[in-house]
Structure 1
């Protein structure tokens, strides 16, 4: 039975995001950890309306626009490396999600 840890990183700062993900990738390579990714999702452009004052009929400022970037890494096995990576102190503008899946072989279930 093998565990696959999926780490999903999102940020509005693409350069910081790429720097963090590249650092993880280089660390995995040095330690011999099997890693897939980083996989990039297309950037998500968001728009937030801004009212000049509260109320339904209020005039609005131009909407606030920003872009969210996402990178996904899959760590195969190496639970300790995956835990250490997910628990790292990341910059404040990086959001991290972790999912762990159990993969069984093609043989009989045990």
Structure 2
């Protein structure tokens, strides 16, 4: 059975995010694995309230910033996907890893 490793990267720094994703895609392809993506989502605008004190009430205007998302898929190549999971990424980049097991067509249970 084949495995698909789905990687979701998020960051408020688009330049760093694009560099990390492009470098990772090149790494995976150099190792000989099949890599699909990067796929981009529309940037999400996040708003965070800022309070003048630790008490509720008086506050500054909210801090607003975009969050960019890129997705990659690594098909098969479990060892390469494992290496990717152990890599160090900049603090400004958040990574989520999901592993999905694909069964061949006609396979039961």
TM-score under structure 1 length normalisation: 0.91
Task: Kindly report structure 1 stretches of 4+ aligned residues shifted beyond 3 Å.
Answer: none
| 1:95, distance to aligned residue in structure 2 (A) | 0.9
TM-score under structure 2 length normalisation: 0.91
2:8 matched residue in structure 1: 8
**What does the per-residue CA deviation read over 1:1-34, in whole Å, with 9 as the maximum and x for residues that have no partner?**
1000001111111111100100011112222210
Give the aligned CA root-mean-square deviation in angstroms: 1.4
* d(CA) in 2 for partners of 1:55, 1:93: 29
Structure 1: stretches of 5+ with no match in the other structure: none
Q: Are residue 45 (structure 1) and residue 68 (structure 2) matched? A: no
Structure 2: stretches of 5+ with no match in the other structure: none
2:100 matched residue in structure 1: 101
* d(CA) in 2 for partners of 1:76, 1:19: 22
| 1:54, distance to aligned residue in structure 2 (A) | 4.1
